[in-house]
Every structure is written in C-alpha cells, then in structure tokens.
A and B are shown apart, each in its own frame.
Chain A
Amino acid sequence: MAMERVLEVRDLELHYFTRKGVVRAVDKITFDVRQGETLGVVGESGCGKTTMGTALLNMPTPPGRIVGGQILLDGLDILKISEQEIRRRVRWESISMVFQGAMNCLTPVYTIEKQMKETLQQHREMSKEEARTRMKNYLNMVGLADDVLQRYPHELSGGMKQRVVIAMALFLEPRVVICDEPTTALDVVVQAQVINLLKDLKSQVNLSFIFITHDLSIEAEVSDRIMVMYAGQIAELGTSDQIFGPQGPAHPYTQRLLAATPLLHKEVTELAFIPGTPPDLVDPPSGCRFHPRCHVVMDRCLKDEVPLREIEPDHMVACWRCFHE
C-alpha cells in the first residue's frame, strides 16, 4: 500500500552556533511521514531528536539555526515562506507539537478555557458559542469532562494536564502532531492510559504522529515505523516488525539499545549496556559516528562516512556491516 506522504524532510541541517563551536545537532536528515502513520523517533539524550522536532515547526531554539535542507509539507517547502505565512498556515494549522513536560506549558493563572480559546482565536473566526462547543468536543475526545474548562491547571492531575495539552494540539485539525516525550513525566498507569488515548485518536482521526522518546519499549507500543537517531544522524529507519520482530534490528546501535532495555517478564542476570558516551557534536568522530562505541567495528568505519541505505523494502540502515557489496 503506497501511502500518501504528508511530510517530506530532505537533508535537513540544524546547527547550534555556540561559543565552543558549531554543534551539528541535526546533520543532513532525510525521511518521510506518511498519512495516518506514527513515526517513532528514538535516541539517547543529546542525539538531536527534540531539536529535529522543533525544526519541523521551523522554530529552532537560539542559538540554533536551520542551515540547509527542505521540509515539504504537502509539497510546500516551509523553510522558503515568511514567518507570517508559517504562523498563518503551518504552525498548529498543519503541524502541532506536544512539548516535553507539557504539563508545565499551561499558565497557572488562567483557566483551561482561556488558554484553549487563545489558540483558537488566533487561527479561526468563530463565535463564543462555537468555540465553546469545539473546545468541549475536543476535551471529550481526550476523555475529559466539560467542567475541566473552568478549572485552573493546579486543580488537574498530571495525566489530565497532559490530556488538555494533547487536545490543544489537535483542535485545529493539523495533519501532523509531534509528541515530544509526552509520557515520561507520568506514572506507569497514567502513561498507559495516555498511550491508549493516542492509539484511540489515531484510529478516530486520520492523523500522522511523530512520537519522540528515549524509550524503545514505548515506541514498540505506539509506532508503525521507528527512526533511530545517533549523534544528529539517522542510524536506522524501519517498520516496527523489522526493529522489534524476531529477526531484530540491523544497526549495532539499535541492537545494543534494545539489549539495554530491561524486559519485565524475563529473568535476566546481566543486562547489557553501551560503554562510553555519545560523541561531542562540535567535533564528531570520523567515519561512522558510532564507531568508538561499536562492538563490531571494522577499518572502514573509522575512515568513511556511512550513507543511509535501503537494505530491504522500507528498512534503511547506516552501517557498513549491513551493506553487501
């Protein structure tokens, strides 16, 4: 089934211009997001996953700047149009984002209604009544009662606040919703409830999600395709079955990341870990960026940079070991 591509990212580069030098946080990344799918983005902290998320809204955090590439949203390159145009047509209209620690994104001094209405009024002309119905609809959709509108954020639990923020990301009916670690600050039971909510929403509305997290086990739960990032680049991109299936992932980094994830129902005496730390992105290692921590490193890995290549349909890997030349 050839699905329609909603978002195409081509050679996206985002650098942070710091005093220590140029940090290449997102380094020539190319991928697509298809209609109605959830694309999971995983990696260790500092691998550029959140940076990439903000780049997709063309909203880099200073001193970051997008220095190259294209972001095509339904064919329109959002890096070419003016800021005003982006506000009017892209941000929240076509792509919205649920930020990390979203519960803290709500202003403590306003009621939920006031905060939601603000977003709505910026983008749509509608009467008070219409706005209220719409807000209520979306709150119900995420499993909250109408009276939440009159409440202040401190009156809601963490899970409820997270639901409010998800509702706010949805109610302008965007094409793509970026969720940046939406469940990390939540308790396990609430986390499972939010995950169920996202699954539910996905089947109800034909949305595409980009789900950013550091936890592979959550990706297994929500994502159709998984993109593994390492040091600002894509290490592996494949379907959920390719990554979590019996055959296992192809890239040594993904393999080791998966081995480091503890399984609940398995007696393990020794859990694997990845020695070393992620590289400094001001001066990344030569060749393959993972080579200093890799257990199957070859001579070639030290010298030549690895391209991302398709090794089987829908499965892209950046590892010299995986290419049969």
Chain B
Amino acid sequence: MSEPILVAENLTKWFPVKRSVGQVLRGNRTWVRAVDGVSFSIEKGEIFGLVGESGCGKTTTGKLIMKLLEITDGRLYVSGEDVTHVRGRALEKHRRAVQMIFQDPYSSMNPRFTIRDVLMEPLEIHKVGKDMKEREAWVREILNEVKLSPPEEFLVRHPHMLSGGQRQRAATARTLMLNPSVIVADEPVSMIDLSTRAEILHMMRQLQRELGLTYIYVTHDLSTARYFTDRLAVMYLGKIIEMGPSGTVIDRCLHPYTQALIGAVCEPVSGKVNQVKDVPIKGEIPAATNIPPGCRFHPRCLYAIPECWEEVEPKLVDIGGGHMVACRRHEEIERVGAAARTSEASLGIRRATRIS
C-alpha cells in the first residue's frame, strides 16, 4: 500500500427538487443534498467500506465514483488523474478502470442474455480482444476465476437458471472482464442467503489479493463490513461522520451515531431475549432537503449541547491512528466509553453510556 488510487475531495451531489410555477417565479430552489461534501482517499489494494442507513448517500457516492451521475461540486481523482468532469474517450477509459457490482444481480442482467452474452458485452463495447476466439477464451478464464466451473456449463445458461450466489458470481465476473483497478460493490451480498454470503465475500477477497483490486464496499450491514473491509467510513445525511480502520471504528466508535448503529446490531448470543436493546438515538432520520443547522445529527443526538446547533458543523478530525470523527464532544464520550468498556468488555457487548 502506498500511493492513493482514488481520492475524493469534498465530493458533492445535490439533486434539484421539482418546483411549482409559483416557486419558479419566486425563485425558490430546494435541493436534496444527497452527498454533501465527502472526502476520503483510498490506497491501492485496500477494501474501503461505506456504511450507513438508507438515504445517507452511500449509494450516490458509489455512483459518483463510477461517474454514473454528474458531480455537483468537489474533485475526484483516480490514479492521480482528475476525472471530475471527464467526457467522451476519457470517460470511457474511466469506466473501464472503475466497475460496479449492483445490489440485485437479477435485475442488473438482461434476462434474455445468456451468461456468455452478459460477459461478452463489455468486451464488445470497449472493443477489447482481437476476435471472438480471444474474447471467448477470456470469458472462460474469468468464469474459472469466480469459480463458475466448468465454464461450458454456465456459458449457455440464462440468469434465471442460476442460484442467487451463482448469479452474484456472474455479476462479479462481468466487472472483472475489463481488468478494472477499482470495483464499487453496492450491497453485493444483501440479497444472498446467510449461508452463502461468506462464500461470496471470501471469493471477492481472494480475487482482490490475486488481481490487486481495490474495493469500495457499500453496505448497511456493519457485521460483514467489519469482516470484509480494511477501513470504514460511516455516513449520515450525506456526510462522513466517522472514519478509520474497521476494527477501531466498530470497537472504539466515538460518534454518537456510530454508537447507535452499533448498539442496534443483533448478535447471535444467548440471554438477550428478555432484555430491551439500548439504542441511544431519538426520532427518525430527517429529509435530505432540510438538513438541520450546525451538526446535522444534533436533533437525534443524546449528547447534544446548545453549541451543537448554534455553531458550525464539526469537521472530521484525526484523533490518532487514522481514526477520524466529526463530533464536538468526542473527548468526553471517549472518557465515559473507556470506563464502561473495562467493566463490560468481558460480556462482549458494548452499550453506549450517556453523558449528562
């Protein structure tokens, strides 16, 4: 790991909201601030996780990296090149370098195509390979790579003839066809049975090691993110609020929102049936058209003090070891947390302790 392969600087995506005639005349504009200034850098060969609840902007960020959406503001660099506003040839080149695995492998594949057609298509579009023979040989090789073997058997099948796990393997194979350097995986295992989930992640990890790939793993599932990723960024309402090495972010989280997310995760341990879960958060996620002033989490935060909504939004600050958090009160939270951890560590369950 050395130079960053992908750098996002203050990446922003605002979607305009449809207006009535009156609003147009009065000049009112409202925006859905889906991604609102996100910065991170990913090193080559790293697995970077983006986690958060639905509507937090994690998928939009993934799509911005793919350049499936126009970037409103900020910069995006891939392998040192500025790709923020690339078009034409350069965009084509970008799309070859960055590929995406979608959440639902079934709806992202043409049902009338065979697996052979699905895998050949990117090669034809980008005119890779001399002739059909060479392309077909490449298809077979990739199918072996994702363990859909023997390839002959799968080449002629249609997507509906595959099981969920196999379909996700085929989807992974498709992203590999063009030799990408970065793969954005948007919830790749959330539609797959628990029993095969680990198998797919295991395969993805193996491919990453063999081919030196870089993944951006977009998910709402903290447990698989912990297992699969090297680094993790937690998003809330379009902003990263905590980021760092996965183990640190999960075991020593400092942002109240991350703590709530982690408190909400169920784990297969006995003796929890008659216990009410402690989820230290109030209310529901506000609409992205109307982001609260100050710290955007303050209306739901149990630690909020007047400064949180009166002053400017706290920035992500590095508190050591690459662990970054955007919370004004993180030091106090850490002190209380450390005391609680020593007493509760033996139980293997961590519950957020409330300040004030």
Contacts and interface: CB of A to CB of B under 8 A. Distances in A.
9 contacts: A159-B284, A192-B266, A199-B273, A215-B194, A219-B268, A220-B269, A244-B269, A262-B198, A274-B195
B161 to A, nearest CB: 13
Contacts of A191: 264, 266
* Most chain B CB within a 10 A radius of its CB, from A159, A188, A221, A258: A188
Interface in B152-170: 163-165
B79 to A, nearest CB: 29
A261 B196 CA distance: 10
Given A196-B279, A221-B277, A264-B262, A187 B220 contact: yes
Given A262-B226, A264-B222, A271-B202, A214 B273 contact: no
Contact of B276 (A200, A219, A266, A274): A200
- Chain B CB within 10 A, most for which of A187, A200, A243: A187
A187 B53 contact: yes
Interface of A: 38, 44-45, 157, 159, 187-193, 195-196, 199-200, 214-224, 240-241, 243-245, 256-258, 260-268, 270-275, 277
A50 to B, nearest CB: 14
B83 to A, nearest CB: 32
B270 interface: yes
The winner among A192, A196, A218 for most chain B CB atoms within 10 A is A192
B198 A271 contact: yes
Contacts of A245: 270
Given A260-B197, A277-B163, A199 B220 contact: no
A271 B270 contact: no
Nearest to A46: B193
A245 B277 CA distance: 19
Contacts of B196: 273-274, 277
B350 A265 contact: yes
A213 B349 CA distance: 23
A237 to B, nearest CB: 16
Given A193-B279, A271-B201, A277-B163, A218 B266 contact: yes
A241 to B, nearest CB: 5
B19 to A, nearest CB: 20
Nearest to A293: B195
A150 to B, nearest CB: 19
Nearest to A243: B270
Nearest to A183: B266
A265 B250 contact: yes
Nearest to B265: A264
Nearest to A216: B268
Nearest to A217: B266
B307 interface: no
Interface in B256-311: 260-274, 276-277, 279, 281, 284
Given A220-B273, A264-B250, A270-B202, 8 more contacts: A189-B261, A196-B279, A216-B194, A218-B266, A220-B270, A260-B197, A262-B224, A273-B195
Contact of A44 (B195, B222, B247): B195
B273 A195 contact: no
Nearest to A158: B54
Nearest to B190: A184
A217 B267 contact: yes
Contacts of B194: 44, 214-216, 257, 260-261
A300 B253 CA distance: 50
A240 to B, nearest CB: 5
Contacts of A272: 198
Contact of B267 (A200, A220, A222, A256): A220
B251 interface: yes
A219 B266 CA distance: 9
Contacts of B266: 191-192, 195, 215, 217-218, 220-221
Interface hub of B194, B264, B276, B279 (most chain A Cβ within 10 A)? B194
A192 B53 CA distance: 13
